[in-house]
Amino acid sequence: MIRKTLLGSTAIFAAVLAAPTSVDAGTVGTGDNLAVSIFGEYRFHIALRDEDVSSGFGRGYIFRSGEAEIGLEARNTADNGILYGVEIILNVNTDDTTNANEVYAFIDDENLGRLELGDQDDAIDRMFVAGEDALVGRQGWDGEVGNEFNFGDTWIGAQNNNTGKATKITYFSPRIAGFQVGASFTPDSGLQGASFGEQDDDGDFENVVALAANYVANYNGLRVVLSIFGEFGDGEPNTSSSGNSTGGTSVGDVETLGIGATIGYGGATLGAGYVDLNEADIPSVRQALGEDAGRWWNVGAGYTSGPWGVSVGYYEATLGNVSGLSDTENSVVSIDADYAVAPGWNVTGSLNFIDAENISRTTTDNSGHVLILYNRFNF
C-alpha cells in the first residue's frame, strides 16, 4: 500500500541544526512536548478448511484471535517547519515473539524528504505494489492463507524483502513529477530492539541495502502506480552447530528483485507483480544442487462501491529444489469480499482454492480450499 507521506533525507540533519530549536508543546494527549495519538487493530477470524494432507488439522475449522496491536504516535513541528516524532506499535497478543512490532523515530520535511530510524518495514515493503494491492479485505493470499493451509515450510507468500522489521535507517525522497525513491540500510536482519546478544556469525543477513522507486499519476481519473525494487546484502556464516548441523555454513546472499504495477479507474483496480528471491538463505551446498529461495508472480482485480468491495486474484510461486526432485509449486485462487459495517468495523470473507506440489521440498502434494471469515476492528 502506497503511503501518502513517504518522505526524508540525511540533509534534514543539517536543516535541523541550522534552524531555531524551540517548538510548541504538544496539545493532544499526555505528552509535554509532542502531541500524542493512540490507534490500534484487532482481528478475529474463523477458518474452515478442507485439504488432502490434514494431519493434525482434521477437525476442519479453527478460531483465531489474530492481530492485536496498540499504537502510539507522538509528533510535533519545529519552528523551521520540520515534522518529527516517534511511533511505537505494541504487540498485545500472547503468541507474539516481540513486545513491539514497530519502534522508530521520524524526521519529515516536504522539501527534503523523510528519514526514519529504528524498527520498521523497509522502503521496498511500503513502495512496492503488486496484485494483492488490487484485492479487498485481507488481500487474499497476502492475508492468513499461509497460516491456515499446509504448505509445509515452502510458503513464501508475497514476500518482497529479507529484513522484516529489523533495526534500520530508511529514507524517502520527496515525490517529484510523480516519481519517488526510497532506500533502507539494515546492518543485521536478526537485530530488532536492543538484541544485545545478536551476533554477526549466526546465519542472518548483514549489510542489507534496499532500493525502491515508484511512479504515481492520475490521468483524467485513471490512477497508475508503477514500482520497481532491488535488495542486496551478505549472508552471514553460521558457526553454531546448534544452528546448523554442519557448522560454519554460509547462507546465500540477498539478491532480490521485483517489479509491479496497479491501474485503477473509478471503483475498479487491476494489479500485477513479480518477485525473484534468488538464493537468499540457501546454504551453498544446496545451491550447487539447484535449490533456490523461490520466485512468485500474481495478478488481481477488485471493485469497491460504497461500503462494499469484491475481488479475485491468482498467485503462483515456484521454488527450485535439489537435483532429482521437481520444483515446488504453490498456486492460490483468491475470491474476497469486504463490507464496512460501521466506522472502524469491517467483516471480510476470503475463499481460496489451493494446489501445493512438493510441500516441504519433498514429493508430497497437497490441495484443497480454505474459507476465512474475519471481523476486523481499527481505531
**CA–CA gap between residue 318 and residue 260 (Å, rounded):** 18
The set of residues, in sequence order, having a beta carbon less than 8 Å from that of 81 and lying 6+ positions away, is 109, 110
Number of C-beta neighbours around residue 58 at 10 A: 7
Residue 228's SS3 state is strand
> 125-153 pLDDT, tens per residue?
999 999 999 999 999 999 999 999 999 99
pLDDT for 2 beyond 70: no
**CA–CA gap between residue 170 and residue 243 (Å, rounded):** 30
pLDDT for 31 beyond 80: no
**CA–CA gap between residue 199 and residue 165 (Å, rounded):** 17
Q: Work out the mean pLDDT of the chain and round it to a whole number.
A: 88
User: Cα angle at 50 between 44 and 51, to 5 degrees?
Assistant: 120
Confidence of residue 182 (pLDDT cuts 50, 70, 90): very high
**CA–CA gap between residue 211 and residue 253 (Å, rounded):** 16
Q: What is the DSSP letter of 323?
A: T
Look at residue 345 in the predicted model and tell me its pLDDT. 97
**CA–CA gap between residue 284 and residue 307 (Å, rounded):** 51
Look at residue 100 in the predicted model and tell me its pLDDT. 82
> 313-328 pLDDT, tens per residue?
999 999 999 988 999 9
The set of residues, in sequence order, having a beta carbon less than 8 Å from that of 100 and lying 6+ positions away, is 88, 89, 90, 91, 119, 193
**CA–CA gap between residue 330 and residue 318 (Å, rounded):** 7
Query: What are the residue boundaries of the structural domains of the chain, listed by start?
Result: 11-23+34-378
The set of residues, in sequence order, having a beta carbon less than 8 Å from that of 235 and lying 6+ positions away, is 203, 205, 250, 251, 252, 253, 254, 280, 281
Calculate the dihedral angle through the C-alpha atoms of 317, 167, 139, 368, rounding to the nearest 10 degrees: 40
The CATH number fitting domain 11-23+34-378, selected from 2.30.22.10, 2.40.50.90, 2.40.160.10, 1.20.58.220: 2.40.160.10
Confidence of residue 11 (pLDDT cuts 50, 70, 90): very low
pTM for the model stands at 0.87
AA identity, residue 231: E
Show the cell assigned to 68.
Answer: 492485536
Residues above pLDDT 70, as percent of the chain: 88
